[in-house]
Structure 1
Amino acid sequence: MLKKPLILSLFLLFWSTCTIAQNLHLIDSLSRQLHSAEGKTRFELLNDVAWEYRFSYPDSTVFYARQSYELGQRLKLPSGLAEPLNFIGVALNYKGDRIGAFDNYGKALKVAMDQNDSIQTAYSNNNLGRLFFEQGLLARSYDYFIRALSIFEDLNDSSGLAYTYQSLANLYKSQHDYPKAESNYLKANKIRLALGNTRDIMSGYSQTARFYQDNNQHDKALRYLHLADSAGRVINDEINLAEVHISLSESFLNRGELNEAESICAEALKVIAAKRNMRMLPQAYISMGQIKLEQRDLIAAKKFFNLGLDIAKSTNDIASKMEAHYYLWKISEKEKNKLSVLTNLNAYLLLKDSIKDLDLARQVERLQFEIEIERKERENELLKVDQVKTEAIIKQQRMSNIILGIIIVAVSLLGFVQWRSSKKRREINEKLAQQNQFIQNQREEIVDQNEKLSRRNQQLSDLNHEKDTLMSIVAHDLKSPLNRIKGITDLMEMEGHLNKDQQDFVRMTKDATQAGLDLIKDLLDVHMLEESVILNLSIFDISAFLLEKTNNILPAAEAKSIHLHIAKIESVEVQMDADYLSRIVDNLLTNAVKFSKRQTSVSVSAGKSNGELWISISDQGQGFSEKDKLQLFQKFKKLSARPTDGESSNGLGLAIVKTLVDRLKGSIALESEQGKGSTFTIRFPLHNN
């Protein structure tokens, strides 16, 4: 249950631990050389010092890199000016200033391209790709990684290639494209092995091992962990070796080799405890507790879980606290200690909700980041447009000056004409004055109207913010108690010893709780879909997609003795948002089963015609009246048909379907008569995809 989050947290912890190490002797040596260095040599030394400080002291990196950039500008260096800007971006990213990092990476890319500096152009692209990847903007990050890879390949830069292959591997892993992820991890390892940097080799082996662990390929994971262990022993890196040993113990545990797992975990725990590494210590204790639990030594297991929990509380390590409470809950069940079961279960559920809240906050932060980036890009485009307009105005002014000079000469030659027309000019000037006054009055009126519009816009913004805040509060305040009620009913079922009436009450409670959770989910989906317009496009085969969707709903159909089958599906490769299409098909299939009587059938068909993909879902249910069709896709409109087996219906499903179909530039049509079943057909243009 907790294995995947645990692996992810250990991976992030391992990466951060590996990158903290700094070469203090090198920093001292570089600092001494700075005292007497001048010119380009000083520029290069400032860059070297800035780079060495990037992990533990990013402020120092910013300080030295800015000195380097200013010195390079004074020296008017023909290349290399983008390097300190890239270093500033790296430091700001480690500090959490994503927008500042984006600005400096973008500036570095522009400077590098202006100087025809290919190597810094490649690193700038890769840095931008990593920044967007960390913020979840995978499509944009992929474009930058591919540009960087192409340049590094042209330059035959091995270090840059390893760096980019590692970035691409992480990207493919996040997209569950494991063959490509594996290929890129292995390419990066091969290059690093040839370069001979032992610390980079150890890091690469460790990340490759973690990749195989996440995919349950424990034999391969063990091989790379042993390689990482060998590299760590060469450089005598005790703390990173200890973390590799924790990973080794996990692999042995997953293979059922408990003695080996216990021995190597104990060795690692001894080093971590001696070093008082508070970030690694909770997980080390929990890993040993898992081993003891598998050995059925409940007393020792409880001891290690409690030790891990105590350290996690002192460091506010939410993931480790949640994991410790989970295993203590399971041990309490084995000991039949009901009070301890309730205590640890409640603590686990509360922490689980907290992690969900943190994930939501991170999603909001990523959305804000993307909005800010788009705003800056629009500002840059506007600045370019303004620059073009300014240049056009300057040219026009020059032409006006020339014309004005000609006019002055002409007026000088024809002065006597002015004397004749002076009276007429005075009349014209009076009219112009009146017109200017009228224009001034109109301008003041426009300013007043703009101020009123601005105040109204602010009021609307405040109301929208209050709505969003209320939605978040309602979701949090309703979901948490409903999840706890569901958890308690699950626990009551697990305890057993319930008579028939009590079982019915528990089932009714679970059904009501699940209906409430489903309603909250639909409300949040509707709210999210009204706000979000970002599509995550991917290429997939529609036949495999619909087969998976049909298999997922099959248990619900079989429970009602409904024959769910695929009538006809053509193999069509499409590019669209798979998540949106999945929601559309899930809602239509669920409704077809929910509103159909027992012993009927539901069929699915798909194909392409006239440049369009079409998907059809038919049932033999209650159908729709003419009145139903008028309000078919409206929110909270419950139609004449009712679920046939007591299922819940909140009137949001078809509204969500219509919104998602519109987002994908498609159309939806209904063929139905009341009492004679229904057929929903959705169509999407293939050429737009």
Structure 2
Amino acid sequence: MKYNRGSVLSLRLKGIYEDLSNNYEKAIEYYLQSLQAARNIRAQEYELAALSDLAIAYFSIREPEKAKQFYLQCARMTESDGKIPSLINTYNNLAVIYTQLKQYDSSHLLLEKAVQLGQPLERQGRISLSSTYNNLGNLYFKEKKYEEALPYFRQNLVRHNNDSDLSALWVAKLNLADVFIEKKQFDSATIYAEGAMKLAERLESKSKEADSYSILAKLAEYRGNYSKAYAYIKKWYSLDTAILHSDTYKTIAALQERFHASEREAENKLLQEKIEKETLRSRELTLVAAALGIIGLLIAIGFVIKRNAHRRLKATNDLIIQQNEKLSELNFEKNSLISIVSHDLNTPFATIQIWGQVLQNDANLTEEQQKAMNRILQAGAYGERLIRQILDVERADIGNHKMQLEKFDLRAFTEEMADNFRPMAERKKIALHTETSGKKLFILSDRYLVSRICENLLSNAIKYTPRGKNVWLHISEEQDGICIRVRDEGVGIDKEELPYLFSKYSKLSSRPTDGEASNGLGLSIVKRIVEEINGRITCESEVGKGSLFTVLLKK
């Protein structure tokens, strides 16, 4: 048939067989032969497959550095080839290696590239970025950034619930269980850990059952139930050891086969080794003397290099000190300029507001003139508020605010907040509801900063909620803290944009429903205020159904 690729395919199939039989040494030997055969006939697609096979095999025997070398070759080939799905797959594989090597920055860079390349294709339904999101979640988990990892694992849970991929669904549930264990939210962790175990049993996978028992043991340990943890560990050990024994037996068999083949050769070399032993002994003395001389020379060179490096370091430090002094001067000038500009801009805006109100009270205005005057007043108020927000962010006004602690009643505070925002809500026919417990709730905190938090969240909720819908302000007591929740029936936020929600000047795809202005500063200010008073803020949202912002403050 003159089919020149038969050798490449045959060698690769032999490698795959040995790989699945856990005989990795033989598998690597076949994969290397397949790689050479592919290069001989210049078949790039099979060369790429062989490189990927080798990387996976080395990863399986816990040699990530060698796996990385082959994946880097894959990356260079796929980048020159320009096939985006292959490139995304290679970036994912490399990112997993970098995560295992604790080179987290490199892993972030590769996964971000994979997301940028893949999102247009995913929207067209041509590929799935499920593996990329799972890798991002694992990367944040390794960095102990559990809040950042959580959205990615949840996203994959929803995705695989829909596509019925049970194996991927098991991974998502196991990851969610691990995150909730670290967050000490044990009820949620239990649900996902037990769900993962049921899937492992349904898939009849011993390795998945072993991993599920491992996570259940960790959960029991964190909850202080050590007897239960011990029972799970024994089950994990029985499964894991059975798998290990199978691998070990095959490895030993291969070692014995090689040993018998080399035993005869060893006997032939025995006499020759005795002769060479005496020769080597005399050489060793010469080598030791030479080595001592080289070590002395290296020490001298090292001393000179270290002294020169110290001089360069001192010069660099002096330069850094000078630059820092200059930056401090420039920063002081910048802050002074901001103060001057803010003072000067506040005056004309205040003047606009005063004269606008005077003109608005004139009964002789026509309906069109009254409408124009309302717009002038709204623009003036917006400009004044924008100046204050810019100053909060750029001049770090929150950090310079002198904390004034006072004990105040949150029930009265809630009603006051709602009354302030009801006119704004009524203009859009939005019903603003308040929900508090029956008893009085007191908190010791800075009333001004708590007001700023509620103002921003309520303003955003009304802005992003369509006419005729509802907004809720709910305050409750939870253990040793106070929980403030602002919920709306607005446009919602895309899950992919949630990690960037509290970034400064972030511009999201969601837009106000009535043409209101949005500058991307409000939520970054809220986050800074919450952190300033030792609180936490989270957001849950679904596009088209609304958002829930939760602020937890200590009493």
Whether the TM-score (by the shorter chain) exceeds 0.5 is: no
Normalising by structure 2, we get a TM-score of 0.42
With CA pairs under 8 Å and 6+ residues apart, which has the higher RCO, 1 or 2?
2
